[in-house]
Structure 1
């Protein structure tokens, strides 16, 4: 075990031995600093009210130098034990804060009433070391603190700023203490001085378990001591809960794991360890005591000692800690604190790390009373191993999963970024670990709805390691975190969702992957987290029954809930390879057909209820991708409404019916949206009525339709309405196409060629991954097949689905095979592309995980081979288009 020995017999002789190893002490000696630390403490306490700031600052700074030199001599000689040294340093810090507060108040003509400073951390426990900063919270009671002309709140902020300046400002005499106010409630959004009323509300509503651990060591150190004691009494129930539920205990255990997540003895062999934060260091001894105090102190007040050694003693007397464990930890704590002092007194640096350089480390060893560096290194390692063993035994059963899945540090408590956590997140693929830490820290502070309850924050703590590990596995860590943040921050209440994710680890992995790889699905999930329940149930959603007595709005909402779940499950299964990409179009199209039928029925009931029963028959027909049963995620719907009745009597009714149908399909409600609807393919397009009569449809198709309109007509398919009318409309459409072919004098081919050339000019391709308009993309294939249908003069080859139409086309077998394979590949890729991104993609910024999904959709070995195959396929399709559409070599 590490044993710290005096380096000289008396304080008077010690500095002569230490000056070579401690340049800071040598500088103090050379400045002529002399006198005892007790005298220095008395000088600071004696600073009277009304002392000018410059004079007060000089007294405190010279007293600080005197304290350091005097205490170092008594420390290194063994005249004072290490905890006596820490107490003396802490008393000096408290006196300095009190003097600075007095000075700042008296500058404004105010008495010290209602304003105080609470010491936290090592200062609260009388455990400061030589180069400690001090953690304090400056507070005021608005009912007691006067504040003068400016009022309590504004004056308190000014006083707090002055206090920090009086302590920190570097002058020719140095500084007193670095003063950290960031442990106050919600420091990023609260002023420097916090009202007791605000702090009480904060801790009662969103206080976290790590903050409870901070306040274990709280002590009123300066200012109005009675007022401060009253506040500590008020928040006592927050710190010392009488009852801890399962989730609170789990949260405490998770905090322990986050403080220093590790596997085995990683980092112990380092000869230059951080003796405070590293494995087997001071932090682990402190946490060993504080964790058990936090769990048991609510029911056992005798455990509430705010010092580390006092807590160990109380825990031992209560039978919580074994005597030999407590004794070993006390011995280690004293040795490590002694070592920490010697590391810091060399150069007055706020460091806890033993120097890696052998010469510097030998100086530290010499200040510890070691002549042999190897013995020092060996004893320090043995001490740290003992501490870590005791630390790891605490809640050992909770750590098994951690040792199976070591991540490294995951610390999101406090206010500073933990270096180990930065390393851990960088290793997981985060490009900006500090930004991620800050985001998670804000979650812990209750800044989002999901963590505004204690249980929400406790669930988040337990979920974080698995969540971050899942992000690392996806390989798109930044994207996964960005979309998870959007999803998480959109939750209106997080307890149910977080509990579900914690109970279903596979669901968590699934969610993270989905969010990372498919921003479109992530957007849906961020708005509708309830969709996760559909994944857990692993069952198809029940199709709702929309009854005649339902209101129009109720019918819309009922169907939207069902549609949302069905649509999400289809997308999820496609993304994760649970349905084949080439089959996905059938799922999307079937859902769209069901939706049109249900919404048409609701629109008919609504229109009939207001304007009477429908005159005659009606039908709804699909065109475009919906007509061909080729929908992708997010496709809009090309539809037309046709009715069979006297237009003079029926047009108004069917216009109202169609408007309600469009509303039913497109209007956003509380339950979301369904589709965009495009009715521009109806006769006369935007200029024509939204509902078309049977005679008008027949007349237009036979007399007025353009070639491109007959190309679109090849995809006509009945979806809803009267079966007899549907058959009549299909017959009219086929007869119009056949009739045109019989009278064609070359205009069909000329029109199609000119249209394709114009599209090349107006919508030039965007590269290899443009699967729609580019050379050799799907429009080339569609034009080839539709030209073939328009010229055939045979109703049996007018087929809405392009792949079925290719099989019946009057092309050479080799051309049919080339075209069919190209369309199959591009449609499969487009399914994943539209699902994940909703638009065309650029391969240079495509997530690696999504590349894998595209390869799986196409059955490709790797992404390079997929791009090679896609390029070859598009070249083949375009060559066929040039030949069949008579495009010519320069047309494209």
Structure 2
């Protein structure tokens, strides 16, 4: 245990020894008129209110210098014990705040009736350290404080600004106290002085358990002391609850579990610990006491002492703490406070950290009366271990049931960033820990709907450690946190969702990983947090029952809700490996087909309602990736509309129904949008009608279509409409494609080769992870099979799906099978990677920009041992594909 020894038997002699190790004390002794503490205190106590502000500032600063010099000498000589020093320092702080408020009011011609200042923290407990900030909060009674020419609120702010200036502003004479008013209700959105009405509403509605701990130490400091006493008395009902429910107690325990949960090399083996916030530090002793007071003080008024050691004795007398524990922690507390004072005496810094530099640390040891640094380090470590042991035992029974996180401190109480929490978040990979801490602190203040109830805030406290650890595991914690913030802010009520996440830790991990790795899914979740319930139930949503009586707009909204749920579940299952990446295209394509069929029916019903019955039959046909049933997350829909009607006047009706179909598929409503639709592959492209007759379709494909249009036509697939028309269109398309080979096979090969080379020039590849346009990518494979199908000239050898094409061409015997085996393997590999890639990031990305979680998911998608092996195999496959493409597409050697 630390043993703090006097440096000399008299104050003057102790000070003479100390200045060798304390530059600040040396400067004070050279510049300050030595005065007894009582004399310096009296100069502040007796300061008239009418004193001009600048003059008052000088008096206060000179008094502060004299107080520091006098109390340091008393402290170092043992003339005053450590707690007597803290009492004296606090007495001077009280007098200074009273003088500052007195001067501020008098200089404005005001009285203090209805305006008062409460001391919290160490000031409220008469436990200020040598270089303490002072924690104060100012309140005014709206009906009691006379603001003069201005409103009470506006005047109160002006007065408080003067008080802060009097105490805090640095002048040639220094400063008096750094003044912290951030313990007021919701400091980010409230003025310096808060009305008592607003304050009581805040504490009643969103006050937190850590704020109740703060108010345990409340003491009237300055101003209208009767009004202050009344306010503190009313706050008693908030602080001291006779009956705490289970969740309030669990919240207090969760706060404890988030402090110092990992003790390792950085904890006790660090020779330069933070003796306030670090393991075995002052905060643990204070928290040890305050948690017991908070839990039991409502039923046992004798525990409500607002000093740390007074409360410790009360806990001992009540049999809550053993005599041995109370004695050990009391002595440890005094010793640590002594060391804290000596750290601060050296440079007048609000520091609690023992210097890491040996020479600097020797200075602290010397001020503690140690001649051996080794002895000092040993005794300090022993003291801290004693404190830690008592602290860990405090909730030992609960921690047996709920093992705490071992990742490090996670403290979001108070108003300052906890240094160890910053370190923990940095260790988890957060790039901006302070931003995350500030956001969580605002959540705890009830600034989002999910935490506006006590239960919601307590549940948040309980899930935070696992949530943040899960974010770190994604490799993209800042991104995961950003999306979680959007998701969390979107909850209308947090209790149900947070309870679900607390009860199902795997669901929390799942949610965090989804938010971090798949922005597309994160966006859906942020708008529809209730989708989490679909994950828990494991049941796919039921398609809406859209009937003839359902209006066009209502049908669009109902299907969008269903589509969003289905899209989310498909994406979630793909991301988490619940469906194979190679199977995902079928899921996305099936959903698109269902959507087209449903929206086509809705569009037709609306067109019939407005313009009468259809003058013929019509069908919707897929092309591109949709035609091949190869959609990925976020794919556009390539479609064309073909109709057959006896009348030449039918064009208008089918144009109208097609336009409504496009609206149904693309228009954003209150429930969002479905797809982007591309109809440029219709005959004549943008210049042609949106709906084309069967006659015009046949004529165009047989007489006008370019080679590239017939390549695209190989992907044609019937989706919705009249089945007989569907069969006619497909038969006609295949016949037109097959007929092209008999016209000029050589021209086909030249056209395909030229088109591929032009794409290389106009859309050059972007590297290995460009899975589509880069050499050896998916377009190479598509060009190969499309050229083969055109050259084969067989209507029954045309397949819209690329994998089916590869299999069919190889089986036809027209080509050697070996290259198609290579292409099939490459296609499966590339499509699986693309499914995950498009879901996660939406487009190409370099490996350097990929989070580790995404790399792992890509490896799972293709069964790769690790990411290095994946990239090697990917590069080899693309090289093989391009070699085959160069031969089959007659590409120049330079390509």
| Secondary structure class of the residue paired with 2:530 | helix
| Secondary structure class of the residue paired with 2:258 | helix
Report the Cα distance in structure 1 between the residues aligned to 2:431 and 2:342, rounded to whole angstroms.
37
Runs of 5+ unmatched residues, structure 1: none
Query: 1:411 — aligned with what?
Result: 411
CA contact (8 A) 2:49 2:104 kept: no
Report the Cα distance in structure 1 between the residues aligned to 2:172 and 2:82, rounded to whole angstroms.
30
CA contact (8 A) 1:2 1:376 kept: yes
Matching of residues 128-167 of structure 1 within 5 Å = 128-167=128-167
CA contact (8 A) 1:112 1:224 kept: yes
Query: 1:516 — aligned with what?
Result: 516
Query: 1:399 — aligned with what?
Result: 399
Query: 1:843 — aligned with what?
Result: 847
- Quickly say closer, same or farther: Cα 1:174–1:679, change in 2 above 3 A: closer
Deviates more, 1:740-749 or 1:55-64: 740-749
Report the Cα distance in structure 2 between the residues aligned to 1:173 and 1:551, rounded to whole angstroms.
78
Query: 1:881 — aligned with what?
Result: 885
Query: 1:40 — aligned with what?
Result: 40
Query: 1:499 — aligned with what?
Result: 499
- Quickly say closer, same or farther: Cα 1:32–1:456, change in 2 above 3 A: closer
CA contact (8 A) 2:86 2:129 kept: yes
Report the Cα distance in structure 2 between the residues aligned to 1:450 and 1:431, rounded to whole angstroms.
26
CA contact (8 A) 2:117 2:138 kept: yes
Query: 1:814 — aligned with what?
Result: 818
Query: 1:856 — aligned with what?
Result: 860
Deviates more, 1:720-729 or 1:350-359: 350-359
Report the Cα distance in structure 2 between the residues aligned to 1:770 and 1:362, rounded to whole angstroms.
60
| Secondary structure class of the residue paired with 2:137 | strand
- Quickly say closer, same or farther: Cα 1:762–1:249, change in 2 above 3 A: same
1:569-614 CA distance string (max 9 Å, x none): 2222222223222222112112222222222233333333444443
Query: 1:803 — aligned with what?
Result: 803
CA contact (8 A) 2:837 2:843 kept: yes
| Secondary structure class of the residue paired with 1:730 | helix
- Quickly say closer, same or farther: Cα 1:838–1:268, change in 2 above 3 A: closer
Matching of residues 23-102 of structure 1 within 5 Å = 24-31=24-31, 33-102=33-102
CA contact (8 A) 1:263 1:403 kept: no
- Quickly say closer, same or farther: Cα 1:66–1:743, change in 2 above 3 A: closer
Report the Cα distance in structure 1 between the residues aligned to 2:778 and 2:763, rounded to whole angstroms.
13
Query: 1:587 — aligned with what?
Result: 587
Matching of residues 446-465 of structure 1 within 5 Å = 446-465=446-465
Deviates more, 1:150-159 or 1:207-216: 150-159
| Secondary structure class of the residue paired with 2:800 | coil
Query: 1:555 — aligned with what?
Result: 555
Report the Cα distance in structure 1 between the residues aligned to 2:840 and 2:126, rounded to whole angstroms.
57
- Quickly say closer, same or farther: Cα 1:871–1:333, change in 2 above 3 A: closer
CA contact (8 A) 2:289 2:311 kept: yes
CA contact (8 A) 1:140 1:194 kept: yes
Matching of residues 430-829 of structure 1 within 5 Å = 430-648=430-648, 650-744=650-744, 746-809=746-809, 810-829=814-833
CA contact (8 A) 1:261 1:402 kept: no
Deviation at 1:376, TM superposition (A): 4.9
- Quickly say closer, same or farther: Cα 1:46–1:856, change in 2 above 3 A: same
Report the Cα distance in structure 2 between the residues aligned to 1:686 and 1:751, rounded to whole angstroms.
22
Query: 2:114 — aligned with what?
Result: 114
Deviates more, 1:128-137 or 1:610-619: 610-619
Report the Cα distance in structure 2 between the residues aligned to 1:380 and 1:794, rounded to whole angstroms.
89
Query: 1:226 — aligned with what?
Result: 226
- Quickly say closer, same or farther: Cα 1:359–1:786, change in 2 above 3 A: closer
Runs of 5+ unmatched residues, structure 2: none
1:453-500 CA distance string (max 9 Å, x none): 333222222111101111222223333333333333343433322222
Deviates more, 1:265-274 or 1:334-343: 265-274
| Secondary structure class of the residue paired with 1:132 | coil
1:639-683 CA distance string (max 9 Å, x none): 222233234454343333323322332233333322222222222
Deviation at 1:47, TM superposition (A): 0.7
CA contact (8 A) 2:620 2:718 kept: yes
Query: 2:871 — aligned with what?
Result: 867
Deviates more, 1:321-330 or 1:161-170: 321-330
| Secondary structure class of the residue paired with 1:148 | coil
Query: 1:384 — aligned with what?
Result: 384
- Quickly say closer, same or farther: Cα 1:787–1:6, change in 2 above 3 A: closer
Query: 1:250 — aligned with what?
Result: 250
| Secondary structure class of the residue paired with 1:298 | coil
TM, length-normalised to structure 1? 0.93
Report the Cα distance in structure 2 between the residues aligned to 1:670 and 1:471, rounded to whole angstroms.
31
CA contact (8 A) 1:647 1:693 kept: no
Report the Cα distance in structure 1 between the residues aligned to 2:377 and 2:161, rounded to whole angstroms.
44
| Secondary structure class of the residue paired with 1:529 | coil
Query: 1:184 — aligned with what?
Result: 184
Report the Cα distance in structure 2 between the residues aligned to 1:292 and 1:775, rounded to whole angstroms.
69
Deviation at 1:52, TM superposition (A): 2.0
CA contact (8 A) 1:619 1:722 kept: yes
Report the Cα distance in structure 2 between the residues aligned to 1:363 and 1:866, rounded to whole angstroms.
57
Matching of residues 10-25 of structure 1 within 5 Å = 14-15=14-15, 18=18, 20=20, 22=22, 24-25=24-25
CA contact (8 A) 1:126 1:307 kept: yes
- Quickly say closer, same or farther: Cα 1:880–1:424, change in 2 above 3 A: same
Query: 1:276 — aligned with what?
Result: 276
- Quickly say closer, same or farther: Cα 1:13–1:510, change in 2 above 3 A: same
Deviation at 1:93, TM superposition (A): 0.6
Deviation at 1:403, TM superposition (A): 6.0
1:166-189 CA distance string (max 9 Å, x none): 223344443322222222223333
| Secondary structure class of the residue paired with 1:108 | coil
CA contact (8 A) 1:262 1:402 kept: no
| Secondary structure class of the residue paired with 1:840 | coil
- Quickly say closer, same or farther: Cα 1:883–1:11, change in 2 above 3 A: closer
Deviation at 1:347, TM superposition (A): 4.4
Deviates more, 1:779-788 or 1:443-452: 443-452
| Secondary structure class of the residue paired with 2:639 | strand
Q: How many positions carry a matched residue from both structures?
A: 891
- Quickly say closer, same or farther: Cα 1:799–1:72, change in 2 above 3 A: closer
CA contact (8 A) 1:260 1:411 kept: no
- Quickly say closer, same or farther: Cα 1:663–1:302, change in 2 above 3 A: farther
Report the Cα distance in structure 2 between the residues aligned to 1:772 and 1:888, rounded to whole angstroms.
20
- Quickly say closer, same or farther: Cα 1:170–1:634, change in 2 above 3 A: closer
Report the Cα distance in structure 2 between the residues aligned to 1:424 and 1:246, rounded to whole angstroms.
29
Query: 1:295 — aligned with what?
Result: 295
Report the Cα distance in structure 1 between the residues aligned to 2:464 and 2:835, rounded to whole angstroms.
33
Report the Cα distance in structure 2 between the residues aligned to 1:613 and 1:688, rounded to whole angstroms.
24
| Secondary structure class of the residue paired with 1:640 | strand
1:197-239 CA distance string (max 9 Å, x none): 3333333333322222212211120122223233334444333
Deviation at 1:125, TM superposition (A): 0.9
Query: 1:833 — aligned with what?
Result: 837
Deviation at 1:96, TM superposition (A): 0.6
Deviation at 1:122, TM superposition (A): 0.5
| Secondary structure class of the residue paired with 1:135 | strand
